[in-house]
Structure 1
Amino acid sequence: MSDAEKVSQIQVTKNGPYIVKGSLPVMMETIAQNDEGGSWTWKRGRDFEAGAQYALCRCGHSHKKPFCDGTHAKVGFDGTETASHASYKEQAKTYDGPGMVLEDAERLCAFARFCDNGGSIWRQIEETDDGEVRKAVVHEETHCPSGRLVLLEKPSGKAVEPELAQSIGLVEDPAENCSGPLWVRGGVQVVSADGEKYEVRNRVTLCRCGQSSNKPFCDGSHASVKFHDGLQG
């Protein structure tokens, strides 16, 4: 791990932006569909110039998205954090299948819908003694941006995780006609406004529409409010 990776972190500020430290690259990531209309893969878009430290909009109202322009103060943004500091394991339910175990922390859902293919990962986990089904659920879980879903191999109990470089993706969701959360990858430390650290994970999604009831994490509210960042195209 490089020195830059060791210090990479995202600091949540009180009723303000995310302060990103550690030269984390920022890029657009669009959910692409399969022939059946399901979320299937990620299409990388353009990169954004970002320095060693920068501020990303958290209220959803900046005119310089994805970066903060101070509008949070003008609109009276309430960014109170409501997310649990409990570990993923403490929050997750377990679904035991013949070939794999599925862990699911539903509160972390960012509504990316990769898990809905093939009749849903929850149904498929019961058939993971079948090689093709096993392959399908791994595809679905490893494309989930929020880390809500984690697969464990049997009998080792080893977690199945994609290899992700430290970076931040700006999620775009054309199927829902909206922009999604900040997809934070590669084990970046997220720190509360009060200094308390959240568990470091390979995949998390942070709210950038300002409407989540699980701040600082995304809860899918961007889809219901039809949040648009104006960056598409």
Structure 2
Amino acid sequence: MADEQDIHEYPGEQVDVRWDRRLCIHVGECGRAEGELFVGGRAPWCDPNVVGDDVEHVVDVVERCPTGALTYIRKQGGATEVAPGRNQVVVANDGPLYLSGDLAIDGASEDMAGVRFRAALCRCGASKTKPFCDNSHRELRFEDQGAVGSTGEPSIEEGGRLEVKRAPNGPLLVNGSFTIVGGSGRVAWRGTRAALCRCGASKNKPFCDGAHKAIGFQAD
């Protein structure tokens, strides 16, 4: 569960924005977005009222956050975030696995609202907040450019729930229809089941090859 310093609320007249620092790895989609919804060094850093009646701008910027650290609540009701039609895993160059879709992630607490649709999962093995990324790959100088050798199935039925479970001291077990996008942006793999490396040692990344056993990887 979060403590008082983990989750920050930014109230607006028409929409509230919520930031969960446990999930944030400072990708910068919010701060680099056009407009003044997010301004570094300003107090408050996020001000939903600066966009006036343009609630959709807030929605658009918040939903760009790839880690699920940002979420929103409309004051007047209306549409909430929904899962995209395709479940997707992006293998970031020297970084985490970025998941988007209809997600059910083992290890997510009930108050991590954003990871229902967007999440960044550790694949270097060093994160202190597993299964989520905490940028430890940078300190570790983890290197993997996100090439994907296997192609998987020729076609799949898109959508549906994507379940991610943690094998104790082992890989991420992903079940459901999904696509893997390589670090180059290429749609590389399609399928309904895969074991994805989270120890950082597999020679067949992003897939597990059993290397976690050889290195004595330990994680829930």
Normalised by the length of structure 2, the TM-score is 0.53
- Report the alpha carbon displacement of residue 86 of structure 1 after superposing the two structures with TM: 3.9
- Equivalent residue letter for 1:60: G
* Further displaced range: 195-204 or 60-69: 195-204
Is 1:180 aligned with 2:176? no
Q: Distance in 2 between matches of 1:5 and 1:206?
A: 22
CA offsets 1:56-84 (integer angstroms, 9 cap, x no match): 00100011111111110111001234541
Q: Is the 8 A contact 1:60 1:210 kept in 2?
A: yes
Q: Is the 8 A contact 2:101 2:162 kept in 1?
A: no
Q: Is the 8 A contact 1:80 1:215 kept in 2?
A: no
Q: Distance in 2 between matches of 1:69 and 1:198?
A: 26
Going from structure 1 to structure 2, the CA distance change for 1:226 and 1:16 (only over 3 Å counts) comes to: same
Look up the match of 1:190.
180
Is 1:9 aligned with 2:88? yes
Going from structure 1 to structure 2, the CA distance change for 1:47 and 1:205 (only over 3 Å counts) comes to: farther
Going from structure 1 to structure 2, the CA distance change for 1:47 and 1:169 (only over 3 Å counts) comes to: farther
Going from structure 1 to structure 2, the CA distance change for 1:81 and 1:54 (only over 3 Å counts) comes to: closer
Look up the match of 2:99.
20
Look up the match of 2:23.
none
Is 1:67 aligned with 2:132? yes
Q: Is the 8 A contact 1:206 1:218 kept in 2?
A: yes
- Equivalent residue letter for 2:218: H
Look up the match of 1:166.
162
SS in structure 2 at match of 1:217: coil
Going from structure 1 to structure 2, the CA distance change for 1:167 and 1:188 (only over 3 Å counts) comes to: same
- Report the alpha carbon displacement of residue 4 of structure 1 after superposing the two structures with TM: 2.5
- Report the alpha carbon displacement of residue 198 of structure 1 after superposing the two structures with TM: 2.5
- Equivalent residue letter for 1:170: R
CA offsets 1:102-146 (integer angstroms, 9 cap, x no match): xxxxxxxxxxxxxxxxxxxxxxxxxxxxxxxxxxxxxxxxxxxxx
Is 1:222 aligned with 2:212? yes
SS in structure 2 at match of 1:58: coil
Q: Distance in 1 between matches of 2:176 and 2:213?
A: 25
Is 1:84 aligned with 2:124? no
Select the residue among 38, 48, 52 that pairs with 2:117: 52
Q: Distance in 2 between matches of 1:171 and 1:47?
A: 18
The within-5 A match list for 1:143-162 is: none
Select the residue among 179, 196, 206 that pairs with 1:206: 196
SS in structure 2 at match of 1:186: strand
- Report the alpha carbon displacement of residue 209 of structure 1 after superposing the two structures with TM: 0.3
Going from structure 1 to structure 2, the CA distance change for 1:224 and 1:47 (only over 3 Å counts) comes to: farther
SS in structure 2 at match of 1:7: coil
Could you say which structure has the higher helix fraction? Answer: 1
Unaligned runs of 5+ in 1: 29-45, 90-163, 173-178
- Report the alpha carbon displacement of residue 196 of structure 1 after superposing the two structures with TM: 1.1
- Number of corresponding residues: 131
SS in structure 1 at match of 2:95: coil
Q: Distance in 2 between matches of 1:215 and 1:189?
A: 15
Q: Distance in 2 between matches of 1:209 and 1:59?
A: 6
Normalised by the length of structure 1, the TM-score is 0.51
